[in-house]
Structure 1
Amino acid sequence: MAECKNKHILSSINNPADLRGVSQDKLVDVCADLRQYIIDVLSENPGHLGASLGTVELTVALHYVFNTPYDRIVWDVGHQAYGHKILTGRRDEFHTLRRFKGIGGFPNPKESEYDAFIAGHASTSISAAMGMSVAFALKNEQDRHVIAVIGDGAMTGGLAFEGLNNASANPNNLLIILNDNDMAIDHSVGGLSQYLVDITTSQTYNKMRYDVYRGLRKMKLINDDRRENILRFNNSLKALLTQQHNLFEGFSIRYFGPIDGHDVNYLIKILNDIKDMQGPKLLHIKTKKGKGFKPAEESATEWHAPGRFNKETGQRIVVHSLEEPQLYQDVFGHTLVELAEKDDRIVGVTPAMPTGCSMTYMMKAFPDRAFDVGIAEGHAVTFSAGLAKEGMIPFCNVYSSFMQRAYDMLIHDVAIQKLHMVICLDRAGLVGEDGATHHGVFDMAYLRPVPNLVISSPLNELDLRNLMFTGYKTANGPFVIRYPRGKGEKKDWRNEMTILPVGKGRKLREGKDIAVLSLGSIGNEVIKAIQMVESKGISVAHYDMVYLKPIDEELLHEVGQKFTRIITVENGVIKGGLGSAVLEFMADKGYTPLVKRVGVPDEFIEHGSIPELYKLCNMDAESIAGLISSF
């Protein structure tokens, strides 16, 4: 466990009340100690480094000014909330971050009363915080403050603008803090990113307006009950003086900034001045991702979640060998480039995850045919649909858990029109340390009922390449490929790509006692399990289904006729997935085998390593072998 450098300061802060007891002239030291503590712990126990280093001063200022947890701080995404965790009673547990049975990597009300709202997906903070602010007003608790902290990357999400629009239309006292560091995980993209650069030219006016407002209010010449008139006057004055129109003021939200987000004492001054203003307001702060750790400042994307590193030298400790299998995401990225080299209709689309899904290879090879659309999953799908409608073949890569946000677009804009596009669901199944908000376990259950979809999952990297080729060559509609996070099984993965017939599974192993049906890379756990029970004289047949939809009915007829005991194994929720599909078929066709289903149970699974979570859900080879033996 890392030690606190300035024990007399940080070690004495067990909660925000303790922080508020610290003399303000000591807060710079608190920030320095907090930043170093984050670096110390994360160098040994990997997590999201850069974002939390950039919000140290903001975190200290918020808890110093506001009466948390009575006042609510709603973090967007949560990558930036490590300092918040340390200051809110979890300092001594911080070394367990993202470990099995340890504290989570994102805010979660179940973990702490200081975590106002769960924060695993982007762009939610404004809507949630506004709901809280309105709730307090309805309960006559107007003395409670609500603060939404949102990054410039998350501001590209449509939900953030829906929240802004509603905040301007309903009475509330919401404070929105826009943490502008010109970075999401990769560089922020789109018109809003450029706008936030341009808006800095209005610093002089913003300071003048703020000073005039404070002066007039002290003289009691204005009051907040006349808010709309004041805003209209301010907006007109600004447009006249600067020849600019402020986007946020266009929503009738008071705008302050931009200000230095690393000046803790100035932040405290501004927050104290504006916190009791009536109506919604936005404070725009400028920060640097990775602040205080030079390597992270210089390469923010690489140091977003760097793994283990040497805190003295800044050297990342990367355990990798050319002899090891590749990450599935890299196999996807390289294969996409290979396909794009042969057909200029192929394009790549991703919502703000080019590095995470390895779309970066396509961006480098074909920059005019690869698109990062920002944190906008719904737009990514409908944008891809538009490309497909006009003859392009988009490979739309979205993390499985984020595709939930684009479900309506997938049905309405893609499936109904039966458009030819390949939808690649990266990080499908249990993903490990990011926990419940990121596990991609629902996609099979929510996609299977949708007409016109083909749903597939590769056993290994060779199959991933083959399925990408199949989706490109043979699909006459949307073709879904779900594949896991992490490394595969094959060291030599550059196969000559072939078509895997749509709706056809394959028998991997003959057997006569029990049939095991699996889908996707979890089938490798089944292979190991069967090897474990061989010595017991149990004859197990293993079928890799390859496709969930259309499912191989010929293969299922064979299984139904030959076996009275069937086990299904899938890396997803067992309600509605492969096991459900097999049970439906057997019932519809009059077969009566005893079926046992292995998969994610009907609960949200915590964070931990993949092996730990497989064991927790009885999806590991040993647990499957035990089920086979007892069955």
Structure 2
Amino acid sequence: SIVNGTNFEALNNLGLVHRQLLVVLNDNSMAIDVTPGGMAHYLARVRLSHTYEDLRKTTQSILDHLPVIGRPMGEALENFKKTIRMQISPSRLFESLNIPYFGPVDGHDISSLIELFQALGDLDRPALLHVYTRKGKGFGPADTDPCRFHSTGPFEIRGQSVEVAPGPRSFTAAFSDAIVDVARTDDRVVAITAAMPDGTGLTAFREAFPDRFYDVGIAESTAVDLAAGLARKGLRPFVCVYSTFLQRAFDQIFQEVALQGLPVTFCIDRAGLVGGDGPTHHGLMDIGFLRMLPSMVIVAPACESEMRQALALAVRGEAPIAIRYPRDVVRNGRIDAACEAGSFEPPHGLIVRQGHDPMVLAALGPVLDRALDAADRLEEHGVSVTVFNARFAKPVDPVLPQAVAAGKTVVTLEDHYRMGGFGSAVLEAVAAGGTAGAEGRVLCLGVPDTFVPAAERASQLDAAGMSIETLVAIVLANCDVTPKSRSNQTL
């Protein structure tokens, strides 16, 4: 991540600091995937120019030239610089920032590293230690395929190989197939990622359309800037990124895309709760910070067919659009069948189950499956609810505030923080329509105002108040079933 702009900003300021601080540049030519860009290529050339013996000698040279009692710091650093000046080295880059550079050294030589850390701990100024490592070293399969093993599920070790049981189809896999198909029908489609072609499902796209694929490294802001420029020239860029990492690029989304009204599509993977990846990776804020941007459309497909419809909508549109989907199994079957009816156009959602009681479960995205399960369970209690597939977090379908105005209770479900999310948008629409005093009301279900610890995704959703049992209990506690209330057969 040395190519990330904030790192260079920090280094630029570090040269002015008058205190001990050690920066370790762990150089293995990898981030999550192979590191792209000019800086990476330069460091790769440096790496190839050094043998193991070179690294060993460099380590010894550093230890020999670091200050000992009575030797001035400046003299020691100058002597060390002279020993590396004639070599191919990135020292000049860091020295120009007034940061003493040491290395490169072998990052797998633990005993030597301990000596170096102890010695460098006596410096009275910031310094950078450049270490070479190999991602996956020590485990054969990971050494051979480090991208695959950056983040993997359970696997079985069989000697020098591993066996991973094929899991059910994921939203990432559904997106991967869909964007390749869209690109085959429209040569304006290009895909951009920030060091995550595999994690975002773009590996197949990269193989099929290498000239239409861009990996900017861990630099999400640059990804959005690049997309804006390509859109301005008439292309249809898809920025594919995890929800939590998209937060880094908010200023560019505002300034370069939304303000310009450019047709950039944000394909937001890991939107919602992410299970074991924990609080740093939950995608619980994207609706909140994107829906405030004028002209932005926010879509949450509930199934694979809607994923394809969302991508088709994005290609034919002339405004920015965000498509959010979770790290989860894509549940097709009954949801696909229920969602095939009607056109896929904002702001319109879809009634997937018509009820007779004045209660609407309005689900955004794949939590629709839970709403349908709750509706089945409620039938056993003699309660018939309407299940509504919202599809769009922005704009809000006007039938929802209209239902509230008609005296119905609308329960919103979303895999997002309640604060600022889809439910909040529905409440705003109700208030804007002047129906806040009507007999109807809105109950918002979503992730509460807390950081959610790592756990299984299903249990996280349950803990957030969206278990089937909780949904049933909420409806039963708030459903006034009377003959009069059953008279209106629409949403």
Would you call these one fold, judging by a TM-score over 0.5? yes
The aligned amino acid for 2:16 is: A
Give SS of 2:136's match: coil
The alpha carbon displacement at 1:519 in A equals 1.0
Is 2:106 aligned against 1:268?
A: no
Question: Which residue number in structure 1 is paired with residue 9 of structure 2?
Answer: 162
Match of 2:220 in 1: 377
Alignment of 1:467-616 (within 5 A): 467-473=310-316, 475-490=317-332, 500-511=344-355, 512-553=357-398, 555-591=399-435, 592=438, 593-616=440-463
Q: Give, as a single letter, the amino acid of the residue that structure 1 aligns with 2:469.
A: E
- Write the distance in 2 (CA, Å) between the matches of 1:374 and 1:348: 14
- Aligned pairs for 1:194-593 (under 5 A) are 194-200=41-47, 201=49, 211=61, 214-215=64-65, 217-218=67-68, 220-224=70-74, 230=77, 239=85, 246-320=92-166, 324=168, 326-473=169-316, 475-490=317-332, 500-511=344-355, 512-553=357-398, 555-591=399-435, 592=438, 593=440
Contact 2:266 2:323 in 1 (8 A): yes
Q: 1:563 to 1:236 in 2, by over 3 A?
A: farther
Tell me the SS of whatever aligns to 1:418. Answer: coil
User: Once the two structures are superposed, what CA deviation does each residue of 1:532-570 show, in whole Å capped at 9, x if it has no partner?
Assistant: 1111111211221111112112x1243124333221111
CA apart distance, 1:377: 0.8
Distance in 2, matches of 1:157 and 1:477, equals: 28
Q: Describe the superposition over 1:103-136 as per-residue Cα deviations: whole angstroms up to 9, x where unpaired.
A: xxxxxxxxxxxxxxxxxxxxxxxxxxxxxxxxxx
Map 1:136-151; keep pairs closer than 5 Å: none
CA drift at 1:241: 6.2
Assess, with a 3 A threshold, how the Cα gap between structure 1 residues 251 and 541 changes in structure 2: closer, same or farther: same
TM-score, normalization by structure 1: 0.70
Count of aligned pairs: 469
- Deviation of 1:441 (Å): 0.6
2:453 alignment partner, SS class:
coil
Partner of 1:625: 472
Given residue 393 of structure 1, which amino acid in structure 2 is its aligned partner?
R
CA separation of 1:209 and 1:613: change in aligned 2, threshold 3 A: closer
Q: How has the CA–CA distance of structure 1 residues 452 and 264 changed in structure 2, closer, same or farther, with 3 Å as cutoff? A: same
Partner of 1:18: none
Name the residue aligned to 1:181. 28
Question: Counterparts of 1:273 and 1:317 in 2: how far apart (Å)?
Answer: 44
Q: Report Cα offsets for 1:321-343 as digits up to 9, x if no partner.
A: 7xx5x211111111111111122
Shift, 1:208, TM fit: 6.6
Rate the CA distance shift 1:545–1:243 in 2: closer, same or farther, 3 A: closer
Listed one character per residue, the Cα deviations across residues 241-267 of structure 1 (whole Å, up to 9, x for unaligned) are 659763222222111111111112111
Alignment of 1:33-52 (within 5 A): none
Q: Which residue type is aligned with residue 320 of structure 2? A: P
Residue by residue, what CA displacement relative to the aligned partner does 1:334-390 show, whole Å, maximum 9, x if unpaired?
111111112211100010110011101110001110111111111111111111111
SS at match of 1:163: helix
Distance 1:210 1:272 in 2: 14
Find the residue that maps to 2:380 and give its secondary structure: helix
Distance 1:491 1:372, change over 3 A: farther
The Cα offsets for residues 153-199 of structure 1, whole Å up to 9 and x where unpaired, read as x2222221111111112223110111222221211111222222222
The amino acid across from 1:272 in the alignment is Q
In structure 1, the gaps of 5 or more residues are 1-153
- Partner of 1:433, secondary structure, is helix
Give me the whole-angstrom Cα distance separating, in 2, the residues matched to 1:197 and 1:386: 29
- Name the TM-score, length of structure 2 as normaliser: 0.89
- Any conservation in 2 of the 1:469–1:499 contact (CA below 8 Å)? no
Which residue among 193, 208, 224 is the counterpart of 2:40? 193
The residue that corresponds to 1:100 in the other structure is none
The alignment partner of 1:522 has SS state of helix
Q: Percent identity?
A: 35
- Computed over aligned residues only, the root mean square deviation of the Cα atoms, in angstroms, reads 2.7
Contact conserved, 1:470 with 1:499, CA < 8 A, in 2? no
